[in-house]
């Protein structure tokens, strides 16, 4: 079966799959204090410039909902830019060449270093963007520069050639975010003392670069909506990427989704999570125990 036919079948079947799985997730608006549907969520972001979807990268329900939400946003607004942590800035030209039909999908995924789960989890959105002639932003900082910061420190970015620096956020990168740093220390456990600040600053390079890429597009297309995907640590509590974006322009209207699994979907206490974002999407954890 050719790829175009497979994609068409996905679009036809996806709504029915999601209806069948709707009992496997719940959506909550922390603003209205109510459980809502995907349609309600799309309606609630009518006055929003950037909607950030914070995911767990291996969450299949999150990926299906991302496609549904992106489809509904397109149906409502016609033009919605898709911004993705999953592509790095130095792959933007290659991604654009694919979206314009110049190169094959296999060349695009190979040359952009697409994630291993791209075919199952992100391809449907990119194919929809291609079909609808939408912009897709390769938002993330190239891994080689993030790795360089983790090894040599934040100041090392200033030694890069000017041509290289265009792939990251403008220097200097502001890393001051006490709440975010405390969260980062917590997930690193007791390793921060041995690693030092370099690994945290590398995280900030990711955040600042994604924010810069979103901002660059927003300032040229202020009437368009942007749907940005990243790992939820980057945007929970409206920190990380969102903090960096707000530093660039406080007038940007941003809402975020935090999507994650919980032990028991029927016993969810929303008050435990309301600080995470504008919307919460929860599914039930899948046990690997037979």
- Provide the CB-side half-sphere exposure for 73 (13 A, CA): 30
Q: Supply 279's token pair.
A: 């919307």
pLDDT of 19 reads 42
Domain that holds residue 136: 3-10+26-284
Quick check: 111 and 92 in contact, CB under 8 A? no
Q: Supply 77's token pair.
A: 């607004």
Q: Supply 182's token pair.
A: 């405390």
CATH number for the domain including 80? 3.40.50.11550
Quick check: 258 and 277 in contact, CB under 8 A? yes
Within-domain flag for 290: no
Within-domain flag for 34: yes
**Residue 102: exposed, middle, or buried by beta-carbon count in 10 A (0-12, 13-18, 19+)?**
exposed
pLDDT of 5 reads 45
Q: Supply 18's token pair.
A: 């999601």
Model pLDDT for residues 216-255, shown as the tens digit of each residue: 999 999 999 999 999 999 999 999 999 999 999 999 999 9
Quick check: 150 and 118 in contact, CB under 8 A? no
Give the integer Cα–Cα distance in Å for 230 and 242. 11
Q: How many domains does the chain have?
A: 1
Give the integer Cα–Cα distance in Å for 89 and 95. 10
Within-domain flag for 15: no
Residues of the chain scoring pLDDT < 70: 1-22, 190-191, 193-195, 286-290
Within-domain flag for 245: yes
Residue ranges in the chain assigned as alpha helix (H) = 3-21, 38-44, 60-77, 92-99, 105-111, 123-131, 143-152, 162-165, 178-188, 192-195, 198-220, 241-248
The length of the chain, given as a count of residues: 290
Give the integer Cα–Cα distance in Å for 170 and 157. 10
Within-domain flag for 256: yes
- Indicate the SS3 state at residue 102: coil
Within-domain flag for 289: no
pLDDT of 285 reads 81
Within-domain flag for 82: yes
Q: Is the peptide bond before 209 cis (omega within 30 degrees of 0)?
A: no
Using DSSP bridges, classify how beta strands 136-140 and 25-29 pair: parallel, antiparallel or unpaired. unpaired
Within-domain flag for 197: yes
């Amino acid at each position: 079966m050719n790829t175009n036919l497979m994609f068409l079948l996905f679009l036809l079947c996806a709504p029915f799959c999601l209806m069948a799985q709707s009992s496997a997730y719940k959506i909550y608006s922390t603003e209205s204090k109510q459980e809502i549907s995907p349609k309600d969520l799309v309606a609630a972001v009518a006055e929003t410039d950037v909607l950030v979807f914070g995911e767990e990268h291996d969450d299949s329900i999150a990926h299906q909902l991302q496609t549904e939400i992106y489809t509904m946003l397109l149906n409502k607004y016609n033009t919605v830019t898709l911004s993705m942590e999953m592509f790095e800035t130095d792959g933007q030209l290659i991604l654009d060449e694919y979206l314009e039909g110049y190169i094959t999908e296999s060349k695009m995924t190979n040359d952009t270093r697409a994630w291993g789960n791209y075919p199952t989890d992100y391809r449907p959105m990119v194919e929809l963007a291609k079909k609808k002639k939408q912009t897709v932003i390769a938002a993330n900082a190239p891994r080689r520069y993030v790795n360089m910061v983790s090894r040599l420190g934040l100041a090392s970015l200033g030694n890069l050639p000017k041509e290289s620096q265009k792939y990251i956020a403008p220097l200097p990168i502001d890393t001051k975010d006490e709440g975010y740093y405390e969260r980062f220390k917590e997930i690193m456990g007791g390793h921060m003392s041995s690693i030092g600040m370099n690994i945290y600053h590398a995280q900030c390079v990711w955040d600042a670069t994604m924010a810069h890429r979103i901002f660059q597009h927003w300032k040229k297309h202020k009437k368009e909506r942007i749907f940005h995907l990243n790992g939820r640590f980057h945007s929970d509590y409206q920190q990380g990427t969102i903090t960096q974006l707000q530093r660039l322009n406080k007038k940007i209207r941003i809402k975020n989704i935090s999507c994650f699994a919980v032990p028991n979907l029927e016993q969810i206490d929303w008050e435990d999570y309301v600080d995470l974002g504008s919307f919460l999407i929860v599914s039930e954890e899948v046990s690997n125990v037979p």
